[in-house]
Amino acid sequence: MKKILLFITNMLCILLSLHAQWSATYNIKGIVRDTVSRQPLEGSTIILQKSKASVLTNAKGYFIITLSIPSDTLVISHIGYQTKHMAINRNDNASLTIQLVPITTHLQEVVVSTGYQSLPAERATGSFTKIDNATLNQQVGSNVLARLKGVASSILFPNQNLAGIPKLMIRGLSTINGPKGPLIVVDNFPYEGDIDNINPNDVESITILKDAAAASIWGARAGNGVIVVTTKRGSYNKPLQVHFNTNLTVTGKPDLQSLRIISPSDYIDIEQFLFDQGYYDAFLDNTYSYPALSPVVEILAKRRAGLISDADVTAQIDVYRNSDIRDEFSKYFFQNAIAQQYAISLQGGGKYFSYFLSGGYDKSISNLSSQNDRYTLRSQNSFTPVKNLEVKLGLQYVQSGTISGKPSFGTITVGGVAIPYLRFADANGDPLPVDKALRSIYTDTVGEGKLLNWKYYPLTDWKHQTGSGKQQDFTANAAISYNLPAGFSLDFKYQYERQMQEIRSLSDINSYNARNLINRFTQLDRTTGMAKYIVPLGGILHLSKGALEVQNLRGQISFDRTFNMHRINAFVGAETRQAHSIGNSSTYYGYDGNTLTTANIDFTNSYPTFINGNYSTIPGLQGSLTDKLNRYVSVYGNAAYTFKKKYIVSGSARKDASNLYGVTSNNKWNLLWSGGIGWVISNERFYNSHWLSYLKFRATYGFGGNTDPNRTALLTFRQTSANTGFPGNHDISRLVNLPNPGLHWEKVRTINVGVDFQIKSQIMRGSIEAYFKKGMDLYGPDPQDPTLGLGLRSVIIKNVANMEGKGMDIVLNSKIINSKFKWDSHLIFSYNASKTTKYYLDTSLLSASLLNSGSRLSPLPGKPVYSIIALKWAGLNTDGDPQGYFDGKISTDYANIYNDTRREDLVYKPVLPRYFGSLINDFTYSRFSLAVCIYYRLGYYFTKPALTYSQLFSNGSIVGTSDYAERWQKPGDEKTTNVPAMLYPANNYRDFFYSSSEANVLKADNVKLQYVNLSCSFNKADCQLLPFKQIELYVNASNLGIIWKANKAGIDPDFITSPVTGKTYAIGVRVNF
Amino acid sequence: MKIQIFYIILLLISSFCISSCKKYLDAKPDKSLSTISSIEGLQGFLDDYRIMNQRCTQATAIASDNYYLTDDLYTKLRTEEGREAYLWKSGVFKYEANDWLNEYNIVYMANIVLDGLKKIDKTARNAAAWDNCKGSALVYRAKSFFEIAQVWSKAYDSFTAAKDLGIPLRLTSDFNVPSVRSSNENTYLQIIKDLKQAVPLLPNSSDNVLRPSKPAAYGLLARTYLAMGKYSQAKLYADSCLAINNQILDFNSLDPTSSSPFGPILYTNPEDIMHSRINRGVKIMLVYVYARIDSLLYESYDSNDLRKSIYFRTNADGSHGFKAAYENANQFYNGLATDEIYLTRAECLAREGDVANAMKDLNKLLINRWKTGTFVPYTADNSSDALNKILLERRKELFYRMLRFTDIKRLNKEGTNITLKRFIGGKTYILPPNDSRYALPIPDLVIQRSGMQQN
């Protein structure tokens, strides 16, 4: 059709040009090209403004147009290019080369989704970050949110084991004691389920709502930011497209040698020393509970008893000196982790319908042989049965399963003590026992063969103690939208989600756990040799089930209309949501998997225990039931007005109510609002900068909320069965929540100012934003007069705390080279700092209770919400003793330093990175492209687990004990080391002081290579033999390790107490049919 | 037209929403949680005996004269506050407000119940349970108020009581109401008012001895009036109490060699009217490991007196420590038992000059304390002789029952001149009669946060 038209126009041109030969007309010829690629542009429209003549360019970009008047203006336009005006007259050169500038201002094409509406970023005043499909695909993990790492500004993955800190945070903290994770929205509704149920291959894009104007539409749950996941769907009038993606990921074994634990040889030396000091005598003499002792201590005890020769002792001990438990773990338990991913999707549509269908299968085996699999099925269909009406239906089903694997490092101990040398198998590879709780000399003989084997075999026990989980998630949604006259439209949406979870853990009869429990309660008749089992013979099975059912309903009226220079876009709506979760759990004893039989057990009476005859009740988990229901009702509205495409004003408000206990209905409603302005300066007449082709300023102000369903305003209690040991057996009531009528939701005020810009021809575009957050009326403890009688809770939680956060996000995207070889660079920089401004802290608290290695919350006014709080360090003295300060003087009075150091003399360091971001470089040449992401986090600290002698003696080779090799040993060492001299018996306060001193607080700043992705694609155009439209092969590497770190101790701050994980490599292929 | 239909639909939806919204949002968020709506729920607070019956104050025992510490034991005490308490120093409970906190916790629970009952209608069906709940809460509150007053306010003196500082009387569970100290007069008036109000609400015999009953309310009235020195009323209520329960336990039925002679009859002791014990908290100085029993007091028990081997144990070094009385070993009973009421009535009778009846009550009790067949009944020449004998037996019978401090305060008001002495580190510490320290200092934290007046 197009060709025919073109042919006709060309013919007309030729005719006209022939005509010009003999009339007073003049032909203008020319070619239209793209300024950048120099490619000719077919189908450009050429219009003469005065004479109204028009033509289209042909396939080679040529045109001829006839000028009938002496001078005119040529208007050259093409979709996706800036329209060009050119004055022309007959005397001009008759052959023109016209270059059109592409409007590739990415900025203007970006459509962000808030979950309530989709709007072009250009018309937005709020702060949004959009991560498109291509960027998401640069990483290959099966968790969609994990793919945001390194690619989204303002999102921090703290990667630290901090109490209450979520895996990812948007723009830092907004609350102290409230929930800290962002709200996750999938398509239109908050997602309550497990985020692992979302197949990343089904995700089209992710929008992050950062400031109040962007997020406040989500009201009381938006205080920590919102992440909107938009899934793929079909489009109308598109032929069938089939995509297939598969990849194989291999992750190496973790580096156990990176664990900072004492060497076997050093530890054995300490054991020998302690043995000589009589440290183990009390354990060796204990015939009451026969506590397990390490192999070396047992050997030494045998020598003392004269049972083995000195030569044998040395030989046996030397075997252990060379059996590093890390090597045993690496050899017998760890393996490469393997993950496979398969995903296929079909999409397309006709005039009245569109469809999207996808299926995915993921399977993985972890480093410790635990298994995971996931099946996903999804469909999204749209219909327009009559004009102006659209119906959308979606269905999703996910099924996943997990099976537990081998024991993780650190879980195999001897009597609770970590031993750096242990052997799991003999020379033939047969399992060796490890004394887990009881000494071998006891378990070898005690039962006279009448008890179950009482040994623990790490090599095989995991096969008998297993856990598995199953999860099913079903989601169905329907949406109807109807366009009314005059720019109005009406939307109704409904979603139902049901997630079911089943966890099963079994200790079968061959597991140590079951054998141990049975033996402990066995009653053995020594004369007849008959055993009576109080805990029935068989396995122990624990089952728990949970179901979550979420329903959402939303009705919305929208208005979108342009009147001349005015554009109004507004909507109001109401929604309700209900989340209902139920659960139950139960435990079965004497379980036999073959016959599915179980036995009854008596939990109430005491029975004599085998080892010492003490009476005890049978320990165990009993059944429990849960039933929780949360309901929310909300009304909301949003409006934006744009004038002359230059000035934008927007506002948004929302009121939420919920069934939180005890708030009277009036107080349940909580209003949160925001407003914003935008100004596209580059659209102003006076604006004449050529190099800065786009410039927009925007500012917003508003409130988000934060709510914790566990905090209630009415007195609530739990009725439970009577305390044991009392007569009457009446149910009792236990206070759960004190009445707190003034309690309301937390408020977070955010001010955001930002500039979006683009430099000519997209050499660089980006945005700079600054924000100020203030968390007000945050949950915090309010001290109470003990006379009120609130029991041990002499504080109650009220809306009494405040905090402040501030920060900056800078995103710069540059096209450094843009020719056949392309080099795009994306720089992301985020700054965030938060501090507590008001918080009650008991003034009588000793410094000892403030000291904090950074793993818990420490809200002290004026300090970061998460801080390391440490004692000042004055180095070692010439005796190898650590020194601190007390009353301004160097001191070794450890008890006083530890307990009574004044607050102002403590050292405070931030735990969360203050500066973070990434640099992504994309290189493309021909069919090849390479992406390299470097991720950095700066301006924060961590506490290195320190060597303390009291713990070394009692807990063994825990993380930090490797410092033993660097301890002070002789005068002069204090110049080169901070590790105190060994002291026996250990001085607890000396240890407390050292481990909580500044000496172990290190800079955590680091730069990491987050991922490298190399891909290569072929089109059918390249190779006609190809049976597909396009095929792309890719190789991806991640967890590549640290490029630079600030600390000299060689510690990766992401792996302070755990081993550094292995590198991950993936290979995959994407095919479009 | 289309638009009109749309608006009608919208109107319908919104009106439906508004009417059903309140109900929708009143759904319970967690089924395992309850709010106040039933008598059973309220009674459940009172049946949490670990709070209501096992958190009573120990300060009176620590400060009184039944025991002593050697220098060595004194320095071995785990906490500084224990050491300070032993010497009646002002720093008592500086860091922790355990006793104050625990007793007021009982008061708070009772107030939750009393406030909660206002929201529940009394009907024919629930009347008995409703009354029992209210009566019980009043008894618990009165008992705690009494115990708090013994520690932190002066002995009752009818001439100065209206001016003397009493204790904060918290009568509501609303914690926005500030805590203000009342007068000693009002303190005792409130205790008596609560107990008198409870009497008609309670049954003669409760479901178990941990729950309050009518004789418990009478008995506590007798105890309160005795502490106030109002002997005729004390006698009156002792009579009422014994009219319902006059049983006495024969100590010959106990095993004196047992390490816990009262263990087998912990909650079935016939003398027990209302069972409660103190919270030992961190100040465990009263247990035999620390506290040594005054040897004169120990020797004053007759060799045929079973209490000598049931109440006490002999330590390895020959000294004596406390074993058990009315509770398990190493626990300290502060409930209400008939022996106390007999002794109260005997004392009141003696003061009235009814020597015969006074000695009858005393002998009725003591014959059950001696080995069978060995007891020779006590006689008295006159009422003051009778009073002295009864008061000595009161001290010996109610050993470590948390009543001694009250008795010292009361008797010193009458001029008995009991002076408490401690010998530590070569120094003698003396608490003279009627010293201001008989009202112990209120925990600093309480003063800081409430702004109430210190003793």
* Chain A nearest C-alpha distance from B86 (Å): 23
Please compute Rg for chain A using Cα positions. Answer: 35
Chain A 721-760, CB below 8 Å of chain B: which residues? Answer: 722-723, 726-728, 730-739
Are A730 and B267 inside 8 Å of each other by CB? no
Q: What pLDDT is stored for residue A244 in this prediction?
A: 95
Are A728 and B108 inside 8 Å of each other by CB? no
Q: Compute the Cα dihedral for A874, A877, A880, A882 and give only its sign.
A: negative
Among B42, B105, B449, the residue with its CB nearest the CB of A785 is B449
- Test mutation, A576, A631, A788, A796, chain B, max B CBs within 10 A: A788
pTM of the model: 0.79
Listed residue (A858, A1037, A811, A801) closest to A933, CA to CA? A1037
Are A732 and B44 inside 8 Å of each other by CB? yes
Q: What pLDDT is stored for residue B90 in this prediction?
A: 58
Residue located via tokens 């009478």: B218
**Residue B273, helix vs strand vs coil:** strand
Q: What pLDDT is stored for residue A160 in this prediction?
A: 64
Mean pLDDT of B421-448: 88
CB pairs under 8 A between A and B: 173
Chain B residue numbers with beta carbons less than 8 Å from the beta carbon of A712 are 29
**Residue B250, helix vs strand vs coil:** coil
Listed residue (B236, B146, B233) closest to B187, CA to CA? B146
Q: What pLDDT is stored for residue A2 in this prediction?
A: 46
Give me the half-sphere count of Cα atoms (radius 13 Å) on the Cβ side of residue A283.
20
The amino acid present at A285, given as its one-letter code, is D
Buried b / exposed e along B412-448 (16+ C-beta atoms within 10 A): bbeeeeeebebebeeeeeebebeeebbbbbbbbbbee
Q: What pLDDT is stored for residue A649 in this prediction?
A: 93
Closest residue in A to B54 (Cα) is A726
Residue located via tokens 């989704």: A113
- Residue-wise pLDDT tens digits, B91-137: 544 445 578 888 999 999 999 999 999 999 999 999 999 999 999 99
Chain B 368-427, CB below 8 Å of chain A: which residues? Answer: none
Q: Mention every residue, 6+ apart, whose C-beta is less than 8 A from residue B172.
A: B111, B115
Contact A918, A375 (CB under 8 A): no
Q: What pLDDT is stored for residue A600 in this prediction?
A: 83
Are A709 and B10 inside 8 Å of each other by CB? no
Q: Looking at the predicted structure, is the pLDDT value of residue B273 above 90?
A: yes
**Residue A766, helix vs strand vs coil:** strand
Among A629, A717, A788, the residue with its CB nearest the CB of B108 is A788
Are B25 and A490 inside 8 Å of each other by CB? no
Q: What angle do CA A403, A408, A411 make, to 5 degrees?
A: 120
The token pair that represents A845 in the structure block: 């608290």
Are A791 and B51 inside 8 Å of each other by CB? yes
* Calpha distance B15→B17 (Å, rounded): 5
CA B371, B376, B378, B379: dihedral to nearest 10 degrees? 170
Per DSSP bridges, beta strands A183-186 and A226-231 are parallel
Q: What pLDDT is stored for residue A644 in this prediction?
A: 86
Are A731 and B44 inside 8 Å of each other by CB? yes
The token pair that represents A351 in the structure block: 């005039």
Listed residue (B354, B353, B378, B351) closest to B366, CA to CA? B378
Mean pLDDT of B19-46: 81
The amino acid present at A495, given as its one-letter code, is Q
If you average pLDDT over every residue of chain B, what do you get? Answer: 89
Chain B residue numbers with beta carbons less than 8 Å from the beta carbon of A737 are 33
Q: Is some CB atom of chain B closer than 8 A to the CB atom of A788?
A: yes
Q: Is some CB atom of chain B closer than 8 A to the CB atom of A630?
A: yes
Residue located via tokens 């009881």: A438
Q: What pLDDT is stored for residue A794 in this prediction?
A: 63
Q: What pLDDT is stored for residue A617 in this prediction?
A: 75
Q: Is some CB atom of chain A closer than 8 A to the CB atom of B260?
A: no
- Identify the segments of chain A with pLDDT beneath 70: 1-25, 36-37, 80, 92-94, 102-109, 159-161, 163, 604, 620-622, 660-670, 709-713, 741, 792-794, 842-845
Q: What pLDDT is stored for residue A22 in this prediction?
A: 43
Mean pLDDT of B318-331: 88
Q: Looking at the predicted structure, is the pLDDT value of residue B336 above 80?
A: yes
Q: H or E stretch including A379? A: strand A371-383
Closest residue in A to B94 (Cα) is A844
Q: Mention every residue, 6+ apart, whose C-beta is less than 8 A from residue A65.
A: A13, A27, A28, A46, A48, A53, A54, A55, A74
- Cis amide bond preceding A985, omega within 30: yes
Reported ipTM: the value is: 0.86
Listed residue (A780, A776, A771) closest to A747, CA to CA? A776
Listed residue (A722, A734, A604, A718) closest to B207, CA to CA? A722
Are B17 and A733 inside 8 Å of each other by CB? no
Q: Compute the Cα dihedral for B213, B215, B219, B225 and give only its sign.
A: positive
